[in-house]
Amino acid sequence: MKQQVLTEIENLYEEMIELRRDFHKHPELSFQEERTAKIIEEYQKELGLDVRTNVGNGYGIVATLKGAKPGKTVAIRADFDALPIDEQNEVPYKSQNPGVMHACGHDAHTAIALGMAKALVKHRDQLQGNVVFIHQNAEEQEPGGAKSMIEDGALDGVDVIYATHMENYLPVDHIYYNHNYILAASDHLEITIKGKGGHGAFPHDCIDVIGVGAQLISSLQQIVSRKIDPLKSGVLTIGSLHSGEKGNVIPDTLNLDATIRSYDPKVRQELHDWVQSITKNTCQAFGADYEVTYNWGYPATKNDPSATDQIIKAAKEVIPEENVLHMEPNMGAEDFSYFLNEIPGTYFFTGSANEEKGFIYPYHHPKWDIDERSILNGAKVMTAATIDYLNHHS
């Protein structure tokens, strides 16, 4: 059966490309994906799947393919929102929505899931178990769609879950995996320092928020290097700093905006605690008031080793074995982590770069595009892993 379904996937390659290009041409931002969701719903219903719509906090869809034989249940997650980016590619499928673009591969992820559903449904009578397609809204914008979809029952009865991401840092016809952490937790920090403004010639009459801010930034940068175990990983990046308008005026407020990344939950908590402590003590030392807004974002994405082995085995069946490679985790973040906090599963990268064809731009870039062979590779790997899991656990 597996080889028959993989042949079906190959036969659906052109259709998956058409689907991906249609989604790419008509991107929709997080929590606004009405057209995309409607197409997914109609496609899955036409295949005869059981379809739930508006799952979670937006346009999430759960489509269930029930096999003719009893068995376990595998979920495939595909996100489908786009980004607020003005596309710079000149291609027939260029975004028709100004300022909105599929610059992260979610159009391809959705095409993969739909192609898998169409290939598998043709062999429903041989399918031992069920396959649930979780079409997730709003991955790009916190709080994301994953957590709310879980709360709305998207994982009910599911035993294992797989997801992939197109990756233009990595060449096409390659698969990259990690048995443990593959993506980081992502938290957002905002600090407002409140002082006393005045004339730049009379600083002794003021509480200079820029001076306090400079001290605070220096101290915050010491957290990772001096307060976190050097064998652990963490990042604190201050990406935005605003205060004042004129050189001879001492302003009375300063606003700081930062992102904080980590893997280990203990390190994540330590980063939070040290930010609070250092901010309080630095501001108080200079007589300034302050406000800290610390938003806990997506948790780290930690793969299940057994589920990862299933993907590795499947990948080696459909692409050259030497192209199935371990990769180090990176500090990107994903709300797929919420699914992995609930059940076993794995998240892997499908190489989509092709330097000769100009597919070299990283995700979130206005010239992002992919070698579409990656769609075929991702679909075949997850299909093979799904069938292997159902057959093995039946």
The residues that are catalytic are: 81, 139
Phi-psi region of 48 (alpha: psi -120 to 50; beta: other; left: phi over 0): left
Is 364 annotated to bind ligand? yes
> DSSP letter at 383?
H
Q: Is 326 annotated as a binding residue?
A: no
Which letter does DSSP use for residue 125 in this model? G
Query: H or E stretch including 77?
Result: strand 69-79
What is the distance between the alpha carbons of residues 297 and 188, in angstroms, rounded to a whole number?
Answer: 7
Tokens of 383: 């299909």
Phi then psi for residue 10, to 5 deg, are -60, -40
14's CB contacts (< 8 A; 6+ apart) are: none
Do the annotations mark residue 140 as ligand-binding? Answer: yes
- Ligand-binding annotation for 334, yes or no, is no
- Are residues 352 and 333 in contact, defined by beta-carbon separation less than 8 angstroms? no
CA distance 159 to 139: 22
365 known member of a binding site: no
Hunting for tokens 């995700």 — which residue is that? 363
CA angle 149, 152, 154 (to 5 degrees): 60
Measure the CA angle with vertex 37, ends 32 and 40; round to 5°.
160
Question: Binding site for Mn(2+): what residues are annotated?
Answer: 104, 106, 140, 165, 364
